[in-house]
A = this chain, B = another copy of it.
Amino acid sequence: MNLKQLSELLGLSQTTVSRALNGYPEVNEATRERVLQAVKETGYRPNKAAQRLATGKAGSIGLVMPTAPGHQSDVHFGEFLAGLGEEAVRHDFHFVIMPADPDDEVAALRRLAISGNVDALFVAYMRGHDPRLPMLKSLSMPYVVHGRSFGAEPDYPYLDIDNEGAFYDATRLLLQLGHTRFALMNGPTHLDFAIRRRNGVISALAERGLTLEEDCMSHALMTDEQGLLAMERFLQLPQRPTAILCSSTVMALGAIRAVNQAGLRLGEDISLIAHDDVLPLLKPESFSVPLTTTRSSLRAAGARIAQRLIGTVKQTGPFPEQELWKTELIVRASTGPAPS
Binding site for B on A (CB under 8 A): 43, 45, 47-50, 52-53, 58, 60, 65, 67-69, 71-75, 77-79, 81-82, 84-86, 88-89, 94-101, 110-112, 114-117, 223-225, 228, 250, 253-254, 257, 260, 280-283, 286, 288, 299
Indicate if the CB atoms of B67 and A117 lie closer than 8 Å: no
A283 to B253, CA, bound (A): 11
Please determine whether B99 and A97 come into contact, CB atoms closer than 8 angstroms.
no
Find chain B residues with CB under 8 A from A257 CB: 286, 288
Contact (Cβ within 8 A) B224 A281: yes
If the complex has contacts A53-B53, A116-B47, are A89 and B94 also in contact, measured as CB distance less than 8 A? no
Cross-chain pairs A/B with CB under 8 angstroms, 20 sampled: A45-B115, A47-B115, A49-B49, A49-B58, A50-B53, A53-B53, A60-B96, A67-B89, A72-B280, A73-B280, A78-B81, A81-B97, A88-B99, A94-B99, A94-B112, A96-B97, A223-B280, A224-B281, A225-B286, A281-B281
Contact of A114 among B45, B78, B95 (CB under 8 A): B45
List of 7 A-B pairs having minimum Cβ-Cβ separation, nearest first: A78-B78, A85-B99, A73-B82, A89-B99, A67-B85, A49-B52, A47-B116
Copy number in the complex reads 2
Contacts A86-B68, A94-B98; A49 near B254 (Cβ below 8 A): no
Given contact pairs A60-B96, A96-B94, A117 touches B82 in the complex (Cβ within 8 A): no
Q: How far is the CA of A58 from the CA of B65 in the complex (A)?
A: 19
Contacts of A282 in B (CB 8 A): 281
Instruction: Give A312 Cβ to nearest chain B Cβ, in Å.
Output: 19
User: How far, in angstroms, from A314 to B308 measured CA to CA in the complex?
Assistant: 37
Contact B224 A283 (CB under 8 A): yes
